[in-house]
Structures are given as structure tokens and as C-alpha cells.
A and B are shown apart, each in its own frame.
Chain A
Amino acid sequence: DTAVSQTPKYLVTQMGNDKSIKCEQNLGHDTMYWYKQDSKKFLKIMFSYNNKELIINETVPNRFSPKSPDKAHLNLHINSLELGDSAVYFCASSQGVRGTDTQYFGPGTRLTVL
């Protein structure tokens, strides 16, 4: 049983295209996140939703737009893809917004922009 799942696992696309990554969690959690991990393994938070409400919105280009249709889903849409967007994108979820709540990560989506 997959706890946090993402699709697609790999995404190869041309510069300028628009693409979406989907995330679903079946843990019953109320908080979900998007992280970006670059080639140097640096993991940086992008967005977080709690009960479908945006609560963390880091300094991310507005080409990135998250959407949470319900507590179990958080999607990431990227417009006008650039070379620098190439990275692994991880979705995560936790129950609650306290710092003691464990975050569970999805398998990641490796995005390559050519």
C-alpha cells in the first residue's frame, strides 16, 4: 500500500512547455508539501497546504502553481519550463502543522528540461 504516491516518476520535456505533477496520500493526513531537490541534494520547501489552504509559499517563480482539490491531493503545475527547473520534486504529507509531526515523502518526480 503506497502511502504517498506521485505521478509521473520521470518527466522529460522541452523548454517552454507546461507540465503537471500529481500527488496523492492515503494516510489521512491534513497537510501536504512540495519540495525541490537539486543536483547537489539540497532539499528546499516550495509550498504547503493544510486542509486545502495554502500555508507556506516560499520564494518560487509564479510559473509554479500548486492546487489542492482535497486534503488527499496536491498537484503542481509548472508553466513555461526552464532549464533550471530540472530537479527531483518530492511531495510529502504530515498530520497537523506542528514541528513534531513526521513528514512522509513520496517517491519523487525527476524532471528534466531539455
Chain B
Amino acid sequence: QKEVEQNSGPLSVPEGAIASLNCTYSDRVSQSFFWYRQYSGKSPELIMSIYSNGDKEDGRFTAQLNKASQYVSLLIRDSQPSDSATYLCAVKGWGNFNKFYFGSGTKLNVKP
């Protein structure tokens, strides 16, 4: 069983719409959750982190965490073509240093 699961997509949304990306994880004691964006041929870059249940907003991005359901999501409001990329969910458990488990990513296409 994979530690972190994401729908590979592609997820296609029109420009200006809300894109919703989902991630589930298997380790119940996971404490830290991250969303990375990766453009084709580039390295992952952190866009959001969340550590407690609820919503966390940063500009057009909102991360949502539900530890009881072992579920974390990323909403992108007013999607732009420049948001087209692969979004990687990463989860870190309690202790064990900074061993991050990444999902395989969801490819997002925002159509003009």
C-alpha cells in the first residue's frame, strides 16, 4: 500500500475556475503535510504547508486537512494557465527526521 495516494489526472479546468486537488495518506500519526508544484522538467517547489485540521489560505491557494479521514486537499481559486503543472502531495510522520513521503502527483491543465 502506498503511503500517499493522488489521482494522476490530468485534471483539466478552464481559466478562472477552482481547481481541487486531493491526497490521501495511510500513516495515522502523520503530522506535517505539504503541497509542492513541479513544472515539466523543473524541480519541486513548496507552495503550501499545513499541520493542523482545517483550512489554511495563502493568496489563491487553500490547503485543507482532515486527519480523521487522512485526507488533505489543495484548492486553487481563479486558476491561471501558469498554474498548469504537476502538484505533489508530501506527508511526514512523527519523528523519523525529515523522511517525506510523496505522492506521484496530479497533473493540472488550466485551459485559457
Contacts and interface: CB of A to CB of B under 8 A. Distances in A.
Interface of A: 31, 33, 40-45, 48, 50, 55-56, 90, 94, 97-108
11 contacts: A41-B38, A41-B86, A41-B104, A41-B105, A45-B100, A48-B97, A56-B98, A97-B98, A99-B92, A99-B94, A100-B49
Nearest to A97: B97
A40 B38 CA distance: 13
Given A41-B86, A90-B43, A103 B98 contact: yes
A42 B102 contact: yes
Nearest to A55: B97
Contact of A94 (B8, B44, B98): B98
Nearest to A106: B43
A50 B99 CA distance: 12
Interface of B: 8, 31-32, 38, 42-46, 49, 51, 86, 88, 92-94, 96-102, 104-105
A105 B104 contact: no
A100 B102 contact: no
Contacts of B93: 99
Nearest to B96: A56
A50 B98 CA distance: 10
A43 B44 contact: yes
A90 B99 contact: no
Most buried by B among A40, A43, A50: A43
B98 to A, nearest CB: 5
Most A C-beta atoms less than 10 A away, residue of B88, B92, B96, B100: B100
Q: Looking at A41, A42, A100, A101, which has the most chain B CB atoms within 10 Å of its CB?
A: A41
